[in-house]
Amino acid sequence: MSGTWLPPEQYIATLPKATVYGCLFVTDEADQPIQLRAARNPDLWQWPGGNMDPGETPWQCALRECREETGLRLTVAPCLLAVHFLPPLGQWTTHKIGFIFDGGRLTRQQIDSIVLDPEEHTEVAVKPLDVWRKDISPQSFARLDAVARARRTGAACYLEQTTLP
């Protein structure tokens, strides 16, 4: 900007717009990532999560979306594993910023109790990282691997995506 002062409402109008999502990275007790197959795109595997509703924080969003998409009411404390930035891509015309939280390790009983919303997801899968590597796109695997590493090391990561998976 030129250094000219603008009233807040005018300045805000010049800034890029973004949507925000929150999601939970969950594994089984052996640290095998759990993902959900997207109903609208069967090649896409996702973590429980979605876009924030008005008045919600990313953490509240992640918990709500997990409950809506899986039926699970997780009671873990917020622990950020990654921030994910996406520029406008394809038909999505705004930036997108995601907060990926640690949803913990689920017991076999919890995994078996998952009830999917068929409008959102068609399948739950629990697989070791080396199997996920074969089953998802390289870009999706890079994100999965980085988030799994963040959980192992305790150091949150920053991810940028510049193309569609």
Name the pTM for this structure: 0.92
- pLDDT tens by residue, 100-158: 999 999 999 999 999 999 999 999 999 999 999 999 999 999 999 999 999 999 999 99
Domains and CATH numbers, the chain: 16-152 (3.90.79.10)
Instruction: Say what the pLDDT of residue 4 is.
Output: 86
Instruction: Say what the pLDDT of residue 165 is.
Output: 58
Query: What's the helix, strand, coil split of the chain in %, to 5?
Result: 30, 30, 40
- pLDDT tens by residue, 24-61: 999 999 999 999 999 999 999 999 999 999 999 999 99
Kind and range of the H or E run holding 62: helix 58-70
